[in-house]
Structure 1
Amino acid sequence: MQNPSRRQLLQAGASAMFGLAFSPVLARSSDSVLPKGPINLVVPFAAGGATDVVSRLVAQKLGDRIQRTVVVENLSGGGGAIGAAKVARATPDGHTLLMGTIATHVINPLSMGQQLPYRAQTDFTPVSLVVTVPNVLLVNKSVKATNVRELIALVKAQPNQFSYGSSGVGTPPHLSGELFKSTMGLQMTHVPYKGGGPAMTDLIAGHIPILFDVLSGAASHIRAGSVRALAVTTSERVASFPDLPTMVESGVPGYETWTWNAVFGPAGMPRPMVDALSGALHEVVAQPDVQAQLKDLSATPVGSTPDALTQLVDSETQKWQAVIKSIGGLKKD
């Protein structure tokens, strides 16, 4: 079966948004089904990374929308597994939510198996897909490569002399790097971090020469000129950086990866509460100022029904299972 492209996923999300906007369930939803008191939104990566940046914007706007305090809690480690496990064990009363990613709900289950401290398919209640985001290939400004082809030649000329960083083992940026290595026959060492923020700090400082990052987290650094962006990992260029080529355009055949952020709760949340939260998130990402800010971060606003998010996780599992198999599995560096 052919894996869905990013465009197909966005079209599916747009259809879900249309259906949600006119849902009779939403029309009947009221304040009475929402959690009473503050909501804790667990971000399973370090502060300053892409997921954290998107989460803080969404948390503030969601809090305004439902008149509740929504607090972001960064709980990094294990490629997102530690934070996700906390939410999986929480009481399903809506007071604890997770900003999940491909890492927490697709890649970790595929790579860690029984070692994972939660079951992605059964320990969570899907609420809404929030955004999709490309990954990006970055280098320190001292690296003598101004495009992907020059970087490939540089790495091939010095096998095992270059390392690349990511936000953690098993995260989409990590797999983006492994797919790059596998496709082009490169020998590089992976350096995992506890989030995109610390990895970016070390890239700027020159402690690592190469970084695969989520574009929403890297955007401000690219614009500031503190790092050099070589290519986006999606099959099409992005509107926020129209001059930045894709990996395919840069000579890496068949290359395409991306990530997404979606809200999940613990398993067993009441469906009326889930629908109310999903509807509120849809309304948040539909706000013009939120859309503008997310697009400035190179994140594409989506918003979806819980069922559409379930379908997305299923399709992404199929896609990444094939990617992990193609690179011979994941090695714990």
Structure 2
Amino acid sequence: MQKISIVAAALMLAASPAAIAQQGYPSKTIRFVVPFAPGGSSDIISRAVANQLTAGLGQQVYVENKGGGGGNIAMEEVKRAAPDGYTLILGHIGTLAVNPAMYGAKLPYDPVKDFQPISLLAVVPNVIAVHPDVPIKSLAEFVKAAKDKPGKLNYGTAGNGSAGHLAMEYFKMQAGIDIVHIPYRGTGPMLSDLLGGQVEATFNGIPPIMSHIKAGKLRPLAVGSAARVPALADVPTVAESGYPGFETSQWYGLMAPAGTPRAIIDRLAEETRKALNSDDAKKRISDDGGITAGGTPEQFAALIAKEKERWGKVVTTAKIQPD
């Protein structure tokens, strides 16, 4: 009897901490932090995925919006959370690829060292849209209006350094135009003013503005993705509108604090794969113009590294500064 106990103890000691951690995971509610205010693409995607993860994991995965500081406040908080799989965060092009260049040494987290990628969730094409009272019906007319009267047209975004801000600055560089940036504190407030006519245009992710496009409250001019978006099949891409090779989309992924056991990362990655393949998540995301993604933690890490380099150059060239 004593021999069996000794053998059992030895086997337990030999087992990796990751394997032990996974055995009872998850055993309680999981917090899924979204580093932005409600009302944007991040909300639509995170809630669609959280619903499916709840079913797959057998524990409630609840979304908590924690905006502010261009996403930095939430990122800093989650990097300090226990690496046990019970606090996750929505990774985004802004927090992972743009902020490192924009904030430099002042950034309160390291997007590579402080977090563990789990899976890319979705890619959201951006769309240039205008208020219907603006007498512009194509991207060519938009560029012409901007060149005829430099500094007169304006566009709204969710804030300095947001994905929409970077997308339009990138396009401005390609088209050689001068239009005025009006930053807001979130997509919701910006959209309110855009619909009210206080702002003329935006280069925003499709999901939060799709219903307004369908209702005729906003006029789409071009999408920033490499190919046309099925939900907006009649809207040309920026590339086919005279700017070959132009492409810009937002992307979102699931992250955990660094140090989270690999077994838990793998479990979450597998359940995320299932969630993204579910009819419900696909429909909710695609209906609003998004594209479900997926992939391994390593593939997501490679995307972050590539996009960090790409958008860092745009931030530097456009001299974008935080609020």
> Same-fold call, TM > 0.5?
yes
User: 1:30: Cα distance to partner?
Assistant: 10
Q: Does 1:312 align with 2:281?
A: no
**Which residue does the alignment assign to 1:197?**
188
Partners of 2:159 and 2:223 lie apart in 1 by 19
Q: Which runs of 4+ in 1 moved over 6 A?
A: 28-31
Q: Secondary structure at the match of 1:313?
A: helix
Corresponding position of 1:331: 321
Which of 110, 122, 138 is the equivalent residue of 1:147? 138
Aligned residue in 1 for 2:120: 129
Indicate whether 1:59 and 2:50 are aligned.
yes
Return the alpha-carbon distance in structure 1 between the equivalents of residues 199 and 25 of structure 2.
45
Question: Counterparts of 1:331 and 1:151 in 2: how far apart (Å)?
Answer: 26
Q: Which has the larger radius of gyration?
A: 2
Say if 1:33 and 1:133 are closer, same or farther in 2 by CA, change over 3 A: farther
SS at match of 1:183: helix
The 1:224/1:34 distance shift into structure 2, 3 A limit, reads farther
> Any unmatched runs of 5+ in structure 1?
1-27
Gaps of 5+ in 2: 1-18
Shift of 1:253: 4.3
3-state DSSP of counterpart to 1:92: coil
The answer as to 2:137 corresponding to 1:169 is: no
The aligned residue for residue 272 of structure 2 is: 281
Find the aligned partners of 1:145 and 1:86 in 2 and give their Cα distance.
43
Deviation at 1:141, TM superposition (A): 1.1
Partner of 1:93: 84
DSSP 3-state at the match of 1:261? strand
User: Equivalent residue of 1:284, what SS?
Assistant: helix
User: What is the rounded CA distance, in whole Å, between the counterparts of 1:206 and 1:124 in structure 2?
Assistant: 40
**Distance apart, 1:31 and its partner CA:** 7.0
Moved more, 107-116 or 287-296: 287-296
What is the one-letter code of the residue matched to 2:150?
Answer: P
For residue 243 of structure 1, what is the aligned residue in structure 2? Answer: 234
State the TM-score, normalized to the length of structure 2: 0.89
**Does structure 1 retain, via aligned residues, the 8 Å contact 2:21–2:261?**
no
Name 1:232's counterpart in structure 2: 223
Instruction: Calculate the aligned-residue CA RMSD, in Å.
Output: 1.9
Aligned counterparts, 1:16-27, within 5 A: none
Whole-angstrom CA distance in 2 between matches of 1:196 and 1:166: 7
Is the Cα–Cα contact under 8 Å of residues 128 and 201 in structure 2 kept in the other structure?
A: yes
Give yes or no for contact 1:33–1:276 (8 Å, CA) kept in 2. Answer: no
- SS of residue paired to 1:42: strand
Report if the CA contact (8 A) 2:131-2:195 is conserved: yes
* Match for residue 207 of structure 2 among 189, 200, 216: 216
Which of 102, 106, 109 aligns to 1:111? It is: 102
Residues 1:81 and 2:82 are matched in the alignment:
no
Please give the secondary structure, in 1, of the residue aligned with 2:240.
coil
TM-score by length of 1: 0.87
AA aligned opposite 2:319: G
Aligned partners of 2:44 and 2:285 also within 8 Å: no
Give, as a single letter, the amino acid of the residue that structure 1 aligns with 2:86.
H
Aligned length: 305
Aligned AA (2:184): Y
Which residue is equivalent to 1:11? none
Q: Which amino acid aligns with 2:146?
A: V
Partner of 1:9: none
Letter paired with 1:126: P
Structure 1 residue 222, shift from structure 2 partner = 1.2
The 2-side partners of 1:220 and 1:82 are apart by: 30
For the residue of structure 1 that corresponds to 2:250, the secondary structure is strand
- Tell me the equivalent position of 2:33: 42
Q: Which one-letter code corresponds to 1:279 in the other structure?
A: E
Q: Secondary structure at the match of 1:187?
A: coil
Question: Could you tell me how far apart the structure 1 residues matched to 2:186 and 2:277 are?
Answer: 28
- Identity percentage of aligned residues: 37
CA-CA distance at 1:33 after TM superposition: 4.4
SS across alignment from 2:230? coil
For residues 273 and 244 of structure 2, the distance between their equivalents in structure 1, rounded to whole angstroms, comes to 36
Read off the aligned partner of 2:109 and give its amino acid letter.
Y
Q: Give the superposition deviation at 1:246.
A: 0.6
Q: Aligned with 1:249: secondary structure?
A: helix
- Relative to 1, partners in 2 of residues 1:115 and 1:30: Cα closer, same or farther, differing over 3 Å? closer
Structure 1 CA distance for aligned equivalents of residues 55 and 102 of structure 2:
38
User: Following TM superposition, by how much is the alpha carbon of 1:34 offset from its aligned partner in structure 2, in angstroms?
Assistant: 2.2
